[in-house]
Amino acid sequence: MADFNWQKGFIVDFALTGGLSSAAVSTKRKLSQMRGIFSDPDAFEKAVAAGDPVVYEFYELGAPENAGDVAFGTSVTYPGKVGGEYFMTKGHFHRILETAEVYYTLSGEGGMLVENPEGETDFFPMIPGNAVYVPKRFAHRSVNTGTIPLVSFFVFRGDAGHNYAAIETRGYRKLVVEGMDGKPKIIDNPRWGEE
């Protein structure tokens, strides 16, 4: 990872166009690393066996986990489906639950699925030029419903951390699937809460 000067400032090259010494480095998530996230285990195993594609990657910069610092980066969710369910990020709460986050869509098409511990859910469209504000206390995941990579810029407080465990254990109450008309549809997750 490049050396970013969090005390004096820096410029980062997310587009990897060259010319900057501080280029971002991505972390990739292959489908096999998302076992239990998708609702159809048979379709999941077939998709892994057919090539184990990269589902998403993110560029984060190792921001100091201090109050007052700001963590930011870009997220790229690739197009594809497991069964009828669109490719998505794992999703997470923040360790500091009272943390909001903003995602600004750069390219692609999809949405942000959000859910709080009390069970309130929503799905916010993500299209280029739109920002999604994810409120405090909401888990969130990006879902690519289009045919090209869904690319977004994100920012949140540096000390918020990530809590993936709750999602990995219980899943989301809702799923985003391709409907009979070929358009995204939000449905109840028949496996929600299974352990």
Which pLDDT value is given to residue 121?
96
The mean pLDDT of the chain is 89
**CATH no. for 26-188:** 2.60.120.10
User: In which band, very low, low, confident or very high, does the pLDDT at 23 lie, cut at 50, 70 and 90?
Assistant: low
Residue 60: CB partners within 8 Å, gap ≥ 6? 24, 27, 71, 72, 73
Higher pLDDT, 166 or 183: 183
Separation of alpha carbons 131 and 134, rounded Å: 10
pLDDT computed for residue 84 by the predictor: 95
The CA-based dihedral angle spanning residues 103, 10, 23, 161, taken in that order and rounded to the nearest 10 degrees: -50
Structure-block tokens of residue 174: 């809702």
Instruction: Give the pLDDT confidence of 109-121 residue by residue, as tens digits.
Output: 999 999 999 999 9
Query: Coil, helix or strand for 160?
Result: coil
User: Could you report the per-residue pLDDT of 94-150, keeping only the tens digit for each?
Assistant: 999 999 999 999 999 999 999 999 999 999 999 999 999 999 999 999 999 999 999
Question: Counting Cβ atoms within 10 Å, is residue 48 exposed (0-12), middle (13-18) or buried (19+)?
Answer: middle
Q: Which residue has the higher pLDDT, 77 or 195?
A: 77
Report which secondary-structure segment, H or E, holds 154.
strand 150-157
Tokens of 78: 């690739």
Least confident piece of the model among 17-26, 123-132, 140-149, 163-172 = 17-26
Strand 101-107's sheet: what is its strand order?
26-30, 54-60, 70-77, 150-157, 101-107, 131-134
Q: Give me the pLDDT at residue 20, please.
A: 46
Q: Would the pTM of this model clear 0.85, i.e. be above it?
A: yes
Choose the weakest-confidence range: 8-12, 47-51, 109-113, 187-191. Answer: 8-12
Model confidence at 22, in pLDDT bands (50, 70, 90)?
Answer: low
* Domain extent listing, the chain: 26-188
